[in-house]
Structure 1
């Protein structure tokens, strides 16, 4: 079931310094890392917004919009703010955005169902996924109500790290117990890519 109250946002604006080239277009099996993510979420959301200044091919996926970061070199928080501002500027009705990194191809889409449960609870404006006692700060569910405080903290208070800002605002976690391997394994280096190829064979 698609939830029209949530906009899916893929944060794909990283510089991939540790990887040495744009990770978004790197192949894992017969798909790019970005395609792995997009294909997983495309049937669960009405629209997908990609925040990136890179040149990206999304012809295989419908209802995708690509926008640049509203601030250069401000990190993922700027990507989140960019998505929220896009919602407001285009008079969309979304009250939440769900963020996904572009370099984590194995995550389970069951987290989307968990997001919908949290919205109904109304006990936080921000949620992050947690597995193996590690909080994944890019797998997040963010209320649009956070737009103004986020913009203020980026511009006036020099916040750049997602973790620091979330701790300041207050965040709850959605705990996921991995069955075999950590589905939130992300690819930062060429060595990680080789490990991902091994996982893909067993996936």
Structure 2
């Protein structure tokens, strides 16, 4: 795997959601177009990154087929995606010190753009920003972003001492650039949050194959 932006970036797939609206389970392992949705996410993100990591709690054996590091939240309790971002930062700092950035995406986002990391990186540099987040359809996707590993101690403090849970409240503390993508026939950041979303994703996947 290689990054398209000329620097080491660790890709972190956030797979810690409880899928309550879909009856529970791991959404990234739900079948889409005949294979686990995680396959599609990896296929699109992995070529853009130096290393890949899965952020997920529970038994890591359920992801054994992927041969990737599985990192659990470094704080107790289900505190949401900020803990997954922190887990990715901690892994990068420990295992790949050359990586100054991590790129995070949800594990239920099967149509990610193949230029995600490069465009976020370019915008971050151009705007002299700390954090770059993707946007489409007039809204910012707060967990699809590029984050400096150097912020990990500040993030840990916010989660543990301040009990901060909302991603937008944390990013508001830093210079953050929102990078828009044109949706075209498919929103590249479509999330599969319900059975209806999965049906729509199946339709879109068939359209891409035709």
Q: By the TM > 0.5 criterion, same fold?
A: yes
Is the Cα contact below 8 Å between 1:125 and 1:145 reproduced in 2? no
Cα distance in 1 for residues equivalent to 2:193 and 2:9: 28
* 1:190 alignment counterpart: 195
* 1:5 alignment counterpart: 8
1:21 has 2:24 as partner: yes
Cα distance in 1 for residues equivalent to 2:94 and 2:124: 23
* 2:80 alignment counterpart: 75
- Cα 1:111–1:90 change in 2 (3 A) is closer
Comparing 87-96 and 24-33, the one that deviates more:
87-96
* Deviation for aligned residue 1:122: 6.3
Gaps of 5+ in 1: none
* Deviation for aligned residue 1:124: 1.0
Higher helix residue share: 2
Equivalent residue in structure 1 for 2:106, among 86, 95, 101 = 101
TM-score (norm: length of structure 2): 0.88
* 1:57 alignment counterpart: 63
Equivalent residue in structure 1 for 2:34, among 30, 35, 60 = 30
Equivalent residue in structure 2 for 1:152, among 157, 180, 193 = 157
Cα distance in 1 for residues equivalent to 2:134 and 2:116: 8
Is the Cα contact below 8 Å between 2:33 and 2:206 reproduced in 1? no
* 2:116 alignment counterpart: 111
- Cα 1:105–1:83 change in 2 (3 A) is same
1:131 has 2:136 as partner: yes
* Deviation for aligned residue 1:126: 0.6
Cα distance in 1 for residues equivalent to 2:128 and 2:57: 34
1:40 has 2:78 as partner: no
Q: In the TM superposition, what whole-angstrom CA distance separates every residue of 1:96-117 from its partner, at most 9, and x where no partner exists? A: 0000100010121122220332
